[in-house]
Structure 1
């Protein structure tokens, strides 16, 4: 084998190794692809949608996050952040109140229209669901957009910031819904 051919092979191997290392670092610390399983976020995200999550986002109210399932160590859930540390949460007549202030939830409109009773969420307070008057430090209260079919903080309680894998930023599949998440 010629010396120049060996050098070229070594150069390609170095480039490939560098690309693999960069990819692994990005996936571990910056962003990662995730597949949505289940219908708890429908219609915002459907079963088998593929999304990109950011692992560096500062979590804010109403962000959609992926986190380690608190009730199954081999699963991840995707839900919407409703309550941040210090928040009190109450649902009355299908209207969300956070710290006594009414919040609109436009992401629920389609589900409400498709529900003959037009009511998606039972009345509750954070105190009733978790035994706490306010969301504690380093914890989040999350709910699915498909409120009639979602296992969320109403069922399993608060989740820790440490359980959050990342915030959904971009949908890559299905192609007709390709683009930034809303």
Structure 2
């Protein structure tokens, strides 16, 4: 009986250690709070965030990421500009390095609080996004708090990339 209890205790300790390693270093679940990424991600959706992906690859334009906001809980937004890019919005169209982006996922209902912007409007000195900084926008532009509100985010604030929506079950998705 004592041997069986000891075996169960060891198995439980190993399971807890494996779960801790996964949560600390590899993946974390995140609950979407708000409508700023609607329709891509909706309020209450649960997603898996890959925390180590950016140790292996570069952060790219169009990645959906989770980052620490510095004031509230973490935010989920879409990367629109990476270091070296020029980004501006003219008449609700985002221009990346002078070329308009085709953004089928964007909501354009009504006026947003900042339909037009340049990098200088966001407090950036110079014409391009500086090293270690990223411009992020929500897909539901009229209501999203994003780089138009708080400026560029720093690389150290990025938790990881959203790679899986697992809740609600009828809307499981991998590609965003």
TM-score normalized by the length of structure 2 = 0.91
Q: Using the alignment, how far apart are the partners of 1:75 and 1:116 within structure 2?
A: 27
Verify the 8 A CA contact 1:55 1:166 in the aligned structure 2: yes
Segments of structure 2 that go 5 or more residues without pairing to the other structure are none
Closer, same or farther: CA 78–53 of 1 in aligned 2, 3 Å? same
Verify the 8 A CA contact 2:133 2:155 in the aligned structure 1: yes
1:96 to 81, 94, 109: 94
Q: Using the alignment, how far apart are the partners of 1:63 and 1:16 within structure 2?
A: 36
For these two proteins, the number of residue pairs brought into alignment is 171
Alignment pair present for 1:158 and 2:152: yes
In structure 2, the residue matched to 1:175 is 169
In structure 2, the residue matched to 1:61 is 61
Verify the 8 A CA contact 2:82 2:129 in the aligned structure 1: yes
Runs of 4+ displaced beyond 4 Å: none
Q: Using the alignment, how far apart are the partners of 2:11 and 2:67 within structure 1?
A: 34
Q: Using the alignment, how far apart are the partners of 1:96 and 1:121 within structure 2?
A: 12
Alignment pair present for 1:12 and 2:8: yes
Verify the 8 A CA contact 2:26 2:52 in the aligned structure 1: yes
Q: Kindly report the root-mean-square deviation, in angstroms, between the aligned alpha carbons of the 2 structures.
A: 1.7
TM-score normalized by the length of structure 1 = 0.88
Q: Using the alignment, how far apart are the partners of 2:100 and 2:114 within structure 1?
A: 15
What displacement does 1:102 show?
2.1
Segments of structure 1 that go 5 or more residues without pairing to the other structure are none
